[in-house]
Structure 1
Amino acid sequence: MAMLIRTILNEMIPQQMQNFISSKFFDLASRCLSSDFTFIIEERWQAVNNETFRAVEAYLPTRIGPSTDSLLIGSHEPLNPKSPPKQSIPVDCKIIDEFQGMRLEWTLRSIESKNYFPREKRYFRLSCKKSNRDRVMQSYFPHITRTAESILNKRDTLNIYTYDQESSMWESTVFKHPATFETLAMEPELKQSVMEDLDSFVTRKDFFEGVGRAWKRGYLLYGPPGTGKSSLVAAIANYLRYNIYDLQVQSARSDSDLRHILTSTTNRSILLIEDIDCSTKVAHDRAKIQDDQEDDDDQQPNRLPSTDPGVTLSGLLNFLDGLWSSCGDERIIIFTTNHKEKLDPALLRPGRMDVHVYMGYCSAAGFRKLAANYLGIKDHSSFATIENLLENVTVTPAEVAQQLMKSDEPEAVLQSFTQFLHMKRNEIQKQDGKQES
């Protein structure tokens, strides 16, 4: 009878309908018989990086134990080969965690996306008992977030990211720049004001939410080449323990591409755009560009109008303080330039670039800091002569550092540096004499 019924059903019901009914039946049976529940934590969430994924990624290496079946290890300290390797979680590795009597099983998975630009798509699977589902949501995930925040605040290594246009993703490497606020050859008052501004920024989350502003801060570092703008960026990163995303604006093909690039950065990070005046025409003063174009058109009336596809000024401004600026928290945005006067005023106003820091030529205080760093001395009989010369000679901190690195003997170095300053002063006097004549 059963065989007869099955034959009749096979004749009367199409195969696709049979498969649909079978799948629904097995799904119902598995839900009724299985006592497990699975959470999926993907790397991306609603067009931005998933902060829960990032927290789990920081938390799980602390739960590696005897039950862990595989490990990913590596080292990024070539100068210290005896240092123990770092531990990480490889794909398909299972980690068992115990929390408040619950047994929780983690697995990292990876699949290849089939988009125009193929890339790895990672996600975590968390299995627990169905009866523990609410406790996991209410207690376990907040515990992971708190633990991960503590780990990230104390991390001993930072990363610097650069955007790979071909793969459409950020590539990272370990960031180990020795610059700190202690070693910077800046005016003490300026250095202190920057540090106080950073301290105020990281502790004012409630203030930014209360006034309805995105939790971010914009810095413009400007001044001649070699005055320490990049060193200040490194010092800020080391001070806050923030990763750096170094963006070349030319990497973005359009405004939408720029939004994708910027929203794929993480919270508690620095977005760095160096030499913004050279990176793209959109940053230049539009009034000056229009005047230059009119002059070119007068000289070449038959020239076709140029097209400049790519990022527009409005696209860049929209991320700085428009609707897209709210996609992320606790971010520092830093522009550097050698020519502030070339930038469009729209980039410079508060809310986009909140703090303008002029990195100037080496002063007496800057020289003393460099002498302490490179020579290990805080005072010398030749300091007065050198400081008097610095009042009439413009040299960058990079030039001073180069002179102080010539020898390990302070006497010889200071004598050579004094001669260097005298030579520069004589060149300036000669140039002034030629101009007067």
Structure 2
Amino acid sequence: MLLSNVAELANSVGSDSSVGLFGYPIMIVSLIGMLGSFFLWYARMIFGNLLFRWMFYQLNLSDTCIEYAWFSLWFSHHPYTKNGSTHVKPFQKTTKLRVNRTNEPKEEDSIATSNISEMISNLKVNFVPSYGIHILYRNSEPLIVSISINTNQNNNAYNTEEKTREDIVIWKPRHFLTDYLIKFLFPCQDGVNNCNSVIDMLEKAGVAKEFLSFNPTYPQSIENAYSVFRELLCDCFYVHTLMTREKTTIYTPYFSQWVLASFKEKRAQHTVILDEGVWEDLHNDVSKFLKSKQWYKDRGIPYRRGYLLYGEPGCGKTTTISSIAACLNMNICVFTLDSQTNDTSLNSLFSTVPPNSILVFEDIDSIFPKEEDEKKSDSATDEVSHGRSVVKTNTKSTFSTILNCLDGISSQESRIVFMTTNFKEKLPPALIRNGRIDRKIYLGLATKHQFYKMTQNFYPEEYVKEKVDEMWENMKEYSFGMANLQGFFLRNETLDAAVKSSKNFEMYMKEEETQTQL
């Protein structure tokens, strides 16, 4: 481009007869000036880059990598976040933000609006460091943290939404002079912008002392980018592990990548009430699978397991998955096959499932058209037409791609898949055959065993078998799920009130049915 501009300049000069003898010197001077400016800019760029690399170690993190989540949680509990930051913004949880650089917001206390002074004194505002440059210290060593947000146009022809990505760049001084200059300009202050101990950070965050018996130490090694940032990320991982030990990590798709959506309180097993022996059987099966990797390898069987939970709505399918993940300390990846999901994004998501995760397809029947009659549905399940699947879906992903991701050549090993549906009969047989779905478990309407267990859970101090027997006699002729039963108990604060209301249980069910149809 530069040469073409010079050529155009020469032609214009040469064609202008008024320039005369002075035309060529002007052309030469212009050429030298343009080339000099170009080489000067290029030299400054190279020199600046080399000088910066000589002065700092650099670590780049993006919100698509798990280390980003580790650092964000560590940063949220650093003294700088609460005491030292001069550039903050109010915390606001949105669907665009995948990881929050803040402590989890506490539930707001009820405040009487009549007393404005009490409202002000009890007002809770959460702040997070704003986008830009932040200088903080770890073990009295400076770190420069740059937080930025980038918006790129998605290249998907079917989706014109903009993709927002948050990036974090961390610089660590390499030499004493740079270190001294930063400390001179931004003094290190304990409790303000410096954290000397991960244990102190976790204690202030409310972690019980019995969990802090281990103090991470790192062997001495030659200082380089690997050793410097490995120690930092080890601290971040330590904080992340302890702070989320009682929580289940939930991932959701964002374009073609998995992103951290939230941390959910672990669901205790005793709060999940299924029919007798069902939960224990499922838990044992998943536990056995997790310990059988070598057994699968020795027999040449793909190391993956699929489960289908089916039954009426409100019978505990999603709750069961949450409790299994909590008991086995696993994460959950909630896969939503919406109308914009195509084959490329589907393959990308299946191949990048975070480790130690359960892949969940909720209401899998919703991806298939609902207006097909039984004849079309039967013909659609014929999977041998020209070697392709002819089952139609409500997404841009073909049914053959879905099957290939589940157990084809491109499918991932070491994976557990859970599917839920209220209408098992609407699923194509090819989707739930053995090898793709290994166990099909029915979670149906409330049984007598479940009724008695939930009653005992709701009214442990008032539980009297004779009263529960009376209530069961009033309600057993009706068909209801555990969600209906839970809603009924929430309306009645005491067991006596529940027994009395059970005489009008038919009216309660009609109200529930009316509200569901609205």
> 2:492 — aligned with what?
407
Note the alpha carbon deviations across 1:258-303, whole angstroms, 9 max, x for none. Answer: 3456668755555432221123259x99997243799xxxxxxxxx
Asked whether the 8 Å contact 1:41–1:52 carries over to 2, the reply is: no
Match for residue 141 of structure 1 among 221, 227, 230: 230
Shift of 1:126: 1.8
Alignment of 1:179-194 (within 5 A): 180-194=268-282
Paired position in structure 2 for 1:397: 482
Q: Is the 8 A contact 1:254 1:310 kept in 2?
A: yes
Q: CA deviation at 1:21?
A: 2.5
The C-alpha deviation readout for 1:378-410, integer Å capped at 9, x for no partner, is: 442144566688887654223333443443342
Q: Distance in 1 between matches of 2:488 and 2:49?
A: 74
The letter of the residue matching 1:121 is R
TM-score calculated relative to the size of structure 2: 0.60
Mapped partners of 2:326, 2:124: distance in 1: 23
Report the secondary structure of 1:221's partner residue.
Answer: strand
Once superposed, what is the RMSD of the aligned Cα atoms? 4.9
Task: Report the counterpart of residue 3 of structure 1 in structure 2.
Answer: none
SS at match of 2:75: helix
Query: In 2, distance between residues paired with 1:169 and 1:175?
Result: 18
Partner Cα separation in structure 1 for residue 330 and residue 89 of structure 2: 24
Q: Which runs of 5+ in 1 are unaligned?
A: 1-6, 295-305, 425-437
Quick one: percent identity of the two aligned structures? 20
State the match for 1:280 in structure 2. Answer: 368
Corresponding residue for residue 25 of structure 1: 43
* 3-state DSSP of counterpart to 1:346: coil
- Distance (whole Å) between structure 2 residues aligned to residue 384 and residue 67 of structure 1: 62
Query: Where does residue 62 of structure 2 map in the other structure?
Result: 43
Question: 2:118 is matched with which residue?
Answer: none
Whether the aligned pair in 2 keeps the contact of 1:285 and 1:344 (CA below 8 Å) is no
Q: Is the 8 A contact 1:245 1:270 kept in 2?
A: yes
Query: Any idea what SS the aligned residue of 1:39 has?
Result: strand
Deviates more, 1:362-371 or 1:17-26: 17-26
SS in 1 for 2:271: coil
Counterpart of 1:96 in 2: which secondary structure? strand
Q: How far apart, CA to CA, are the structure 2 residues paired with 1:212 and 1:15?
A: 70
Query: Partners of 1:90 and 1:37 in 2: how far apart?
Result: 23
Which of 61, 70, 76 matches 2:87? 70
Deviation at 1:354, TM superposition (A): 4.4
Once residues 378 and 50 of structure 2 are traced to their aligned partners in structure 1, the CA distance between those partners, rounded to angstroms, is 71
Measure, in 1, the Cα distance between the counterparts of 2:136 and 2:297: 38
Equivalences for 1:166-185 in 2 at 5 Å? 180-185=268-273
Closer, same or farther: CA 339–373 of 1 in aligned 2, 3 Å = same
d(CA) in 1 for partners of 2:222 and 2:303? 33
Task: Tell me, in whole angstroms, the C-alpha distance in 2 between the residues paired with 1:144 and 1:251.
Answer: 38
User: Which of 1 and 2 has greater Rg?
Assistant: 2
Task: Output the CA distance in 2 between the equivalents of 1:391 and 1:247.
Answer: 37
Q: Can you list the C-alpha shifts for 1:322-370, whole angstroms capped at 9, x where unaligned?
A: 455449x8x7543111222332333324554344332122222211221
Q: Which structure has more RCO (C-alpha within 8 Å, separation ≥ 6)?
A: 1
CA contact (8 A) 1:221 1:357 kept: yes
- Contact 1:98 1:104 (C-alpha < 8 Å) held by counterparts: yes
CA 1:290 to 1:188, structure 2 compared with 1: closer, same or farther past 3 Å? Answer: closer
Structure 1 partner of 2:346: 258
CA distance in 1, matches of 2:123, 2:429: 50
Q: How does 1:259-408 map to 2 (within 5 A)?
A: 259-260=347-348, 266-267=354-355, 269-281=357-369, 289-291=377-379, 310-322=396-408, 325-326=411-412, 333-349=417-433, 352-376=436-460, 377-384=462-469, 394-408=479-493
Q: CA 1:198–1:108 in structure 2 vs 1: closer, same or farther (change >3 Å)?
A: farther
User: What letter matches 1:43 in structure 2?
Assistant: S
CA deviation after TM superposition for structure 1 residue 124, in Å: 1.6
Alignment of 1:97-176 (within 5 A): 97-98=137-138, 102-116=141-155, 117-130=161-174, 135-138=224-227, 140-141=229-230, 143-145=232-234, 147-148=236-237, 150-152=239-241, 154-155=243-244
Residue type of the partner of 2:58?
F
TM (norm. structure 1) is 0.69
Q: CA deviation at 1:137?
A: 0.9
**Secondary structure of 1:381's aligned partner:** helix
Bigger drift between 227-236 and 389-398 goes to 389-398
Asked if the contact 2:108/2:124 (under 8 Å) is kept, the reply is: no
Corresponding residue pairs, total: 396
2:76 to 61, 72, 77: 61
Shift of 1:108: 1.5
Shift of 1:191: 1.9
Kindly provide the amino acid, as one letter, of the partner of residue 404 in structure 1. F
Structure 1 residues 67 and 224 mapped into 2: Cα distance closer, same or farther (>3 Å)?
A: closer
State how far apart, in whole Å, the 1-side matches of 2:251 and 2:310 are. Answer: 23
Q: Whole-Å Cα distance in 2 between the matches of residues 38 and 151 of structure 1?
A: 24
In structure 2, runs of 5+ residues without a counterpart are: 1-24, 92-103, 111-121, 156-160, 176-220, 383-391, 510-518
Counterpart check, 1:90 vs 2:93: no
